[in-house]
Every structure is written in C-alpha cells, then in structure tokens.
C-alpha cells in the first residue's frame, strides 16, 4: 500500500514538472510571436497558457502581457 502511494506521488510530481515545462515552452512561443509583431497570435498563446496552467509563475507574466497588449488598442 505504501509503495502504491509513493508511486502515485512520484507520478504527480512528474506531471507537475511537465506542466511547468509545457507552460514555459508556451510562454516562449508567445513571447517570440509578440516580438515578431504577430500580436493576435501572441495574445491567443498567452490566453491559452493562462487557461491551461493558471497557477504557474509564467501565467502571471502572461496575464500582465495580455493586459499590456489590450491597453495598446
């Protein structure tokens, strides 16, 4: 029983680590699109990041980028 719990905990930690990595990759892509001047796509990617990974650190930055891009209209 203890072994099963340890395995479950290890799997959860691995998934959390993957989530952060995926969130970082999505943020990098969004930032690249923004720097290339493709603001609509960048906003779409930032929003996707916020929706999929709301509790990550990069989601906070993505929210700020969205607010900044929206204020430029």
Q: Write the pLDDT tens digit of every residue in 10-32.
A: 444 444 455 689 999 999 999 99
Is residue 45 in a domain?
yes
Is residue 44 in a domain?
yes
Is residue 11 in a domain?
no
pLDDT(1) > 60: no
Is residue 7 in a domain?
no
**pLDDT score of 54:** 95
Predicted TM-score (pTM) of the model is: 0.75
Q: Residue 24: which domain range?
A: 18-71
| Angle subtended at Cα 32 by Cα 27 and Cα 34, rounded to the nearest 5 degrees | 95
Across the chain, mean pLDDT equals 83
Is residue 25 in a domain?
yes
Is residue 3 in a domain?
no
Is residue 33 in a domain?
yes
User: How many domains does the structure of the chain reveal?
Assistant: 1
Could you read off the pLDDT of 33-44 as tens digits, one per residue?
Answer: 999 999 999 999
pLDDT(48) > 90: yes
């Amino acid at each position: 029983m203890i072994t099963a719990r340890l395995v479950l905990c290890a799997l959860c930690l691995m998934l959390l680590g993957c989530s952060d990595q995926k969130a970082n990759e999505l943020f990098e892509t969004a930032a690249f699109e923004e720097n290339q001047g493709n603001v609509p796509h960048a906003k779409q990617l930032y929003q996707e990041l916020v929706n999929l990974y709301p509790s990550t650190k990069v989601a906070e930055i993505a929210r700020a980028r969205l607010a900044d891009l929206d204020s430029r209209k």
